[in-house]
Structure 1
């Protein structure tokens, strides 16, 4: 398939629709038929690209990894200072306030759901956290925090996830904004 071909676009559309459905409804609550309906394609056309809903989820995870890798690379090129990069990570939360309050974190909710009864798929989804963990560890290492870089990376990742969960539970954007400000202050003091 050539880059930009109709088939490639169709596959990307299926992944995009499924990604949104999995985020808004959850993986288990989204049926293959829901994906068919959302794409407007015939079931057979989707089967041409994906045989199962699990195959679609794996493609969604791969797409998330690609998107987030590109975002992290963009931050690396935009911010020479590791603190600025860490603040960019926190600002990602700010830019998604409405979605986070309504649905929670897309990778956190997916991992939580899959971790209950689909550990095989959760291990693939966990790579999304590993991507951020590795990137955050590198930024803390650049700050000279070599001995506790991984601990700090997990702290920041965990704090961001906690903020998303609590803001979602209480449907509270103001709480989200206060917590983000505290993270910004903490990073600035490192």
Structure 2
């Protein structure tokens, strides 16, 4: 395995551990063990856990940008774009019920720790906010696009939090249907609306 492949493996493993166990509870030694590296070889790639956290956040940002761009390219309408965002809760329901929202849990933990990277992690929410605001603007709701974007973020985070607490898939699906009904009510008369057909 090349040095770049090893570094990528470290970031991937750390990302999963930070999500499942939390940043503070994940030790440097645990990451090295799960990657299968000695401490000496590990330090060649990262000197501190904070450096790994920075790399994890940067990777999540890159992946999120790519996902949002793909949704915008493939969706038939702005409402479909927003539905794609909301349906993350169904697509990732098993992980969310077990560990929570990966963005929300990381932001929450780093804020409690008053960690230097907390603002960088919040940038993930800002990506979603800006993207959702663009979709509502495309939908003809420019005046209140940001408020609507924050509303969708708030509702999705609330669903994720309660899904983790109660581990209730029926609740998730019911709330997603409620959000979709709300979304349709936000569409101005004559706007392009594509009726979503669930898989």
- What runs of 5+ residues in structure 2 fail to find an aligned partner? 187-199
- The number of equivalent residue pairs is 186
Matched, 1:17 2:13: yes
Partner of 2:91: 95
Counterpart CA distance in 2 for 1:158 and 1:11 is 35
In structure 1, the partner of 2:111 is 115
Paired residue for 1:143, among 133, 139, 147?
139
Within the alignment, does 1:179 sit opposite 2:175 as a pair?
yes
Following TM superposition, by how much is the alpha carbon of 1:42 offset from its aligned partner in structure 2, in angstroms?
A: 1.3
1:60 & 1:48 partners in 2: Cα distance?
A: 17
- Per-residue deviation at 1:8? 1.3
Distance 1:163 1:26 in 2: 20
Match of 2:158 in 1: 162
- Which residue is 1:74 aligned to? 70
> Which is worse superposed, 142-151 or 40-49?
40-49
Show structure 1 runs of 5+ residues with no match.
none
Could you list the structure 1 runs, at least 4 aligned residues long, displaced by more than 4 angstroms after superposition: none
| Alignment of structure 1 residues 121-140 onto 2, 5 Å | 121-140=117-136
TM-score where L is the length of structure 2: 0.90
Q: CA-atom RMSD, angstroms?
A: 1.1
SS in 1 for 2:117: helix
Deviation (angstroms), 1:188: 2.3
